Every structure is written in structure tokens, then in C-alpha cells.
């Protein structure tokens, strides 16, 4: 397996946990969303950047950005559909 390339993250989330309302945290399963996934979502979905520009800002290839976005979308969808909590966690190779 190839080593993971360092990714530039320029966003530090203040809130790192989301859960369904009125459900105790102890009763919930959770999905873990990496800060690289959150940054990719922020750049592409919130700032409306093209994937090529977002990839440049994160200093990764466009195909890597696409894989990160796909993973993030899958995790968020799973949390929403199955009522899971979302935990935003630091990735080990942030720059």
C-alpha cells in the first residue's frame, strides 16, 4: 500500500460531533469523518470550487480528491439514513 500524501487542511472545525436530537450518545453508532473529508466538502460544496482547484488547494491530485469526496458523501449519507452520530477526527498526516 502506498503511503498517504500529506494534505493541506486550512479549516479547523470548532464543532466536532453531530448526533440525532433526543437520542443519547451512548445509544448511537457513529461514523468518523476525517478533517481531510471535511475540507474537501468545504471547498467543493460550500465554496463551490471545481475539483481541480480544490485539489490544488489541498495539494493532492484530483482523483484523490474525488475519492475523499466520495467517502465523505457515503459516511454522511449513512449517518443521516441510519441515524448515526458523526465524529470529526483529525487525520494523522495533516500539514
Mean pLDDT over 49-63 rounds to 97
What ranges do the domains of the chain cover?
Answer: 35-89
**Separation CA 20–CA 83 (nearest Å):** 6
pTM, two decimal places = 0.85
Distance CA 79, CA 19 (A): 9
> pLDDT tier at 93 (50, 70, 90 boundaries)?
very low
What local confidence, expressed as pLDDT, does residue 45 receive?
A: 97
Confidence (pLDDT) at 95: 41
Whether 75 contacts 37, CB under 8 Å: yes
Poorest-pLDDT segment among 2-6, 50-54, 79-83 = 2-6
Report pLDDT for 9: 83
Mean pLDDT of 18-47: 95
Average pLDDT over residues 62-72: 97
- Which distant-in-sequence residues (6+ apart) come within 8 Å of 14 by Cβ? none
The pLDDT > 90 percentage for the chain reads 76
* Top-confidence residue, 1 or 55: 55
Amino acid at each position: 500500500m502506498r503511503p498517504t500524501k500529506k494534505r493541506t487542511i486550512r479549516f479547523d472545525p470548532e464543532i466536532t460531533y453531530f448526533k440525532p436530537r433526543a437520542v443519547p450518545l451512548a445509544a448511537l453508532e457513529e461514523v468518523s469523518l476525517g478533517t481531510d473529508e471535511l475540507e474537501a466538502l468545504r471547498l467543493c460544496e460550500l465554496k463551490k470550487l471545481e475539483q481541480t482547484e480544490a485539489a490544488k488547494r489541498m495539494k493532492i491530485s484530483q482523483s484523490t480528491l474525488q475519492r475523499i469526496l466520495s467517502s465523505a458523501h457515503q459516511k454522511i449519507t449513512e449517518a443521516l439514513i441510519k441515524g448515526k452520530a458523526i465524529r470529526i477526527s483529525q487525520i494523522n498526516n495533516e500539514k
